[in-house]
Amino acid sequence: MKRVLAIVLATMLLLGPVGPVMASTELVWETREVPNVLAISRITYHEQREQFVAVGFAGSILTSPNGEDWTKRAVESRVSSYNLLGIAHGNNITVVVGSQWIMNPRAFKGIVLTSADKVSWTVQQIDLPYELRGVTYADDLGLFVAVGNEGWGKPMADGTRKGMTTPIIVTSRDGREWVKQEIPERRYGDLGWGDVLHDIVCGNGQLVAVGYPDVILVSRDAVNWEWQKAPTHDTSLRRIAYNDKTNTFVIVTWVQSGTAPILTSQDARSWIARRTPVDNRLFFDIVYGAGRFIAMGISGHLFISYNDGVSWDSRPTETLALSIGYGNERFVAFSNSPRGMAFAKVMAPITALTTLRLQIGSQDLTVERGGVRRAVRLDAVPEIPTGTARTFLPIRPVVEALGGQIFWNAEERQVTIQSNNREIVLWIGNPIAELNGVRTPIDQQEISAYIAPPGRTMLPLRFIAEALGAEVLWDGDIRTITITYPKP
Between 218 and 50, residue with greater pLDDT? 218
| pLDDT at residue number 105 | 57
Q: Which amino acid is at 285?
A: D
Contact 237, 227 (CB under 8 A): no
Task: Read off the pLDDT band of 285 (50, 70, 90).
Answer: very high
| Last-in-domain residue among 301, 328, 349 | 349
Give how many domains the chain has, as a whole number: 2
pLDDT: which is higher, 488 or 415: 415
Q: When comparing pLDDT for 68 and 104, which is higher?
A: 68
What is the percent of the chain where pLDDT is above 70?
Answer: 83
Q: Which residues contact 377 (CB under 8 A, 6 or more apart)?
A: 363, 364, 365
pLDDT at 155 over 60: no
pLDDT of res. 5: 34
- Residues 251 and 359 both lie in one domain: no
**Residue 481 and residue 466 share a domain:** yes
Whole-angstrom Cα distance, residue 346 to residue 485? 25
DSSP state of 182: P
User: How far is the C-alpha of 335 from the C-alpha of 18, rounded, in Å?
Assistant: 6
Q: What is the pLDDT of residue 16?
A: 43
279/101 Cα distance (integer angstroms): 34
pLDDT in tens, 218-268: 999 999 999 999 999 999 999 999 999 889 999 999 998 899 999 999 999
Structure confidence at residue 120 (pLDDT): 93
The answer to whether residues 282 and 376 belong to one domain is: no
Q: What DSSP line would sit under 218-265, residue for residue?
A: EESSSSS-EE---S-SS-EEEEEEEETTTTEEEEEEE-SSS---EEEE
* Amino acid 109: pLDDT: 85
The burial class, CB within 10 Å (0-12 / 13-18 / 19+), for 120 is exposed
Query: Quick one: 272 and 392 in the same domain?
Result: no
Do 390 and 339 fall into the same domain?
no
pTM of the model: 0.71
Mean pLDDT of 452-466: 93
- Which of the residue ranges 192-201, 298-307, 313-322, 407-416 has the most confident prediction, judged by mean pLDDT? 407-416
Asked whether residue 325 falls in the same domain as residue 447, the answer is no
Q: What pLDDT score does 163 carry?
A: 57
Mean confidence (pLDDT) of the chain: 84
d(CA 359, CA 365) in angstroms, rounded, equals 8
Secondary structure in 3-state letters for 395-427? CHHHHHHCCCEEEEECCCCEEEEEECCEEEEEE
pLDDT band at 328 (very low <50, low <70, confident <90, very high): confident
Statement to judge: residues 195 and 133 lie in one domain: yes
pLDDT of amino acid 357: 96
Residues contacting 375, CB < 8 A, separation 6+:
364, 365, 366, 367
Render the burial of 20-42: b for 16+ CB within 10 Å, e for the rest: bbbbbbbbbbeebebeebbbbbb
Contacts of 482 (CB under 8 A, 6+ apart): 355, 356, 357, 472, 473, 475
Indicate which CATH number applies to the domain containing 182. 2.120.10.80
Residues 6 or more apart whose Cβ sits within 8 Å of residue 486: 351, 353, 469, 470
pLDDT of residue 411: 93
Residue numbers of the domain that contains 46? 2-349
**Least confident stretch, 23-37, 366-380, 432-446, 473-487:** 23-37
Confidence of residue 1 (pLDDT cuts 50, 70, 90): very low
Do residues 380 and 428 both lie within one domain? yes
Parallel, antiparallel, or unpaired: how do β-strands 272-274 and 283-289 relate? unpaired
Using 50, 70 and 90 to split pLDDT, how confident is the model at 45?
very high
On the question of pLDDT at 271 being above 60, the answer is yes
What's residue 341's pLDDT?
37
At residue 299, the pLDDT reads 86
Give the Cα separation of 350 and 20 in Å (integer). 16
pLDDT of residue 252: 98
Residue where a domain terminates, one of 305, 332, 349: 349
Cβ neighbours for 158, distance < 8 A, ≥ 6 positions apart: none
Element holding 14 (H helix, E strand)? helix 2-14
Segment 34-39 mean pLDDT: 78
- CB hemisphere CA count around 373 (13 angstroms): 6
358 and 257 in a single domain? The answer is no
* pLDDT of res. 346: 46
Backbone region of residue 328 per phi and psi (left: phi > 0; alpha: psi in -120 to 50; beta: other values) = left
- Name the pairing type of β-strands 262-265 and 344-349: unpaired
Verify that 263 and 387 share a domain, yes or no.
no
> Between 126 and 465, where is the model more confident?
465
Full DSSP string of 331-391? EEEEEE-SSSS--EEEEEE-PPPEEEEEETT--EEEEEETTEEEEEE-SS--B--TTT---
User: Of 349, 371, 399, which residue sits at a domain end?
Assistant: 349
Domain containing 417 — which CATH number?
3.30.457.10
Coil, helix or strand at residue 58: helix
pLDDT band for position 404 (50/70/90)?
A: confident
The helix or strand, by DSSP H or E, that contains position 6, with its residue range, turns out to be helix 2-14
pLDDT category of residue 160 using cuts at 50, 70 and 90? low
For residue 136, which phi and psi values (nearest 5 degrees)?
-140, 170
- pLDDT band per the 50, 70, 90 thresholds, residue 156: low
**Are residues 299 and 363 both part of a single domain?**
no
Give the residue among 193, 76, 252, 217 at the shortest CA–CA distance from 145: 217
Per-residue model confidence (pLDDT) at position 351: 52
Q: How far, in Å, CA of 256 to CA of 275, rounded?
A: 16
**Quick one: 98 and 125 in the same domain?**
yes
- Residue 6: per-residue pLDDT: 37
